[in-house]
């Protein structure tokens, strides 16, 4: 469904994304993990049309979307959420979600009604008339998800929608995401909460310093020594192994 080939992005001297290729098959949940500053969000920005890559191509549903404007990419059915939430502060939750709903629905009434439906789907049914600016962190994360969902995407890009949530809230959002996948939406998610990645993702890519260093089933990649090192520093895998050996 989504195919990225050789994506590269420099910011001045810094290589944020270096020759990254990966694909997301239809109907799956694919996770993109990696330490802070690995280039994950930059990759999302490139895919969604907000950042122009220095090299490489992005194909979506067989179409080249590399230099397409964000709103056109969204219209094709690819929508992103923001890691740093971007609510329309002065608008209510219902109005926020309706902005997304309007992509497919011209009528105001229909968009507001659909917004309400989506809000219930993500558990925001009881805050519909609250201004987005007064929501809690968890509420704002959900709002990001709801607005994106209201555009009726084929592929949903979720950037750390679980960051800052407590374990109960994480469990709730995991259920919501699974339900979205079951309704036929393909998902690519960036996530640091490993237990969520483990339980949700069919496939994971590990990004480190702009490069993909591993891919495979989430359980498998989490065991790979060089992945552990990317997260915990050089020699960490060996130390862990030694400790595990000592305990046994």
Ligand X SMILES: Nc1ncnc2c1ncn2[C@@H]1O[C@H](COP(=O)(O)OP(=O)(O)OP(=O)(O)O)[C@@H](O)[C@H]1O
Interacting residue with other proteins among 9, 40, 80, 141 (CB under 8 A): 80
Interacting residue with other proteins among 9, 40, 102, 142 (CB under 8 A): 102
Q: In what order do the strands lie in the sheet with 78-80?
A: 78-80, 155-159, 186-190, 29-33, 203-208, 211-216
> Applying CB under 6 A, which part among 8-16, 18-26, 113-121, 222-230 lies near ligand X?
8-16
Rounded distance, CA 164 to CA 148, Å?
A: 20
Q: Write out the DSSP string of 123-147.
A: T-GGGTTSBGGG--HHHHHHHHHHH
DSSP state of 38: S
90 is a site residue for other proteins (CB under 8 A): yes
Contact mark string toward other proteins, 153..192, x via CB under 8 A: ----------------------------------------
Interacting residue with other proteins among 15, 59, 61, 99 (CB under 8 A): 99
Q: In what order do the strands lie in the sheet with 14-24?
A: 14-24, 2-11, 55-60, 63-64
Rounded distance, CA 153 to CA 77, Å?
A: 4
DSSP state of 109: H
48 is a site residue for other proteins (CB under 8 A): yes
Interacting residue with other proteins among 4, 30, 111, 204 (CB under 8 A): 111
Q: Which of 84, 94, 91, 228 is nearest to 150 (CA)?
A: 94
Task: Tell me whether residue 130 or residue 192 sits nearer to other proteins (CB atom).
Answer: 130
Q: Is 188 exposed, middle or buried (0-12, 13-18, 19+ CB in 10 A)?
A: buried
Helix (H, G, I), strand (E, B) or coil at 203: strand
Contact mark string toward ligand X, 68..107, x via CB under 6 A: ---------------x------------------------
> Applying CB under 8 A, which part among 127-135, 167-175, 207-215, 229-237 lies near other proteins?
127-135
39 is a site residue for ligand X (CB under 6 A): yes
Residues that bind Mg ion (CB under 5 A): 40-41, 83
Which H/E stretch holds residue 248? Answer: none
Interacting residue with ligand X among 1, 2, 16, 189 (CB under 6 A): 16
Which residue has its beta carbon closest to ligand X?
41
Task: Tell me whether residue 110 or residue 176 sits nearer to other proteins (CB atom).
Answer: 110
Interacting residue with other proteins among 34, 100, 123, 218 (CB under 8 A): 100
69 is a site residue for other proteins (CB under 8 A): yes
Cβ pair 115, 97 in contact under 8 A? yes
Task: Record the tokens describing residue 62, joined without a space.
Answer: 């067989």
Interacting residue with ligand X among 6, 25, 27, 37 (CB under 6 A): 37
Task: Tell me whether residue 33 or residue 180 sits nearer to Mg ion (CB atom).
Answer: 33
């Amino acid at each position: 469904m989504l195919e990225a080939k050789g994506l590269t992005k420099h910011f001045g001297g810094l290589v944020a994304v270096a020759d990254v290729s990966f694909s997301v098959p239809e109907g799956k949940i694919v996770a993109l993990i990696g330490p802070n500053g690995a280039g994950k969000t930059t990759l999302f920005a490139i895919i969604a049309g907000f950042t122009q890559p220095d090299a490489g191509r992005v194909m979506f549903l067989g179409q080249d979307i590399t230099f397409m404007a964000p709103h056109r990419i969204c219209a094709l059915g690819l929508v992103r959420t923001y890691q740093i939430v971007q609510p329309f502060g002065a608008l209510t939750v219902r109005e926020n979600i309706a902005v997304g709903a309007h992509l497919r629905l011209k009528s105001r009434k229909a968009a507001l009604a659909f917004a309400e439906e989506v809000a219930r789907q993500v558990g925001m049914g009881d805050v519909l008339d609250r201004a987005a600016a007064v929501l809690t962190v968890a509420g704002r994360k959900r709002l990001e998800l709801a607005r994106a969902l209201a555009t009726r995407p084929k592929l949903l890009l979720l950037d750390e929608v679980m960051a800052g949530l407590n374990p109960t809230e994480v469990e709730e959002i995991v259920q919501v995401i699974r339900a979205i996948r079951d309704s036929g939406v393909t998902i690519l998610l960036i996530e640091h909460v490993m237990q969520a990645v483990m339980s949700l993702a069919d496939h994971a890519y590990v990004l480190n310093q702009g490069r993909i260093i591993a891919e495979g089933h989430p359980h498998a990649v989490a065991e790979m020594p060089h992945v552990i090192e990317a997260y915990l520093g050089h020699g960490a895998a060996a130390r862990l192994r030694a400790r595990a050996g000592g305990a046994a």
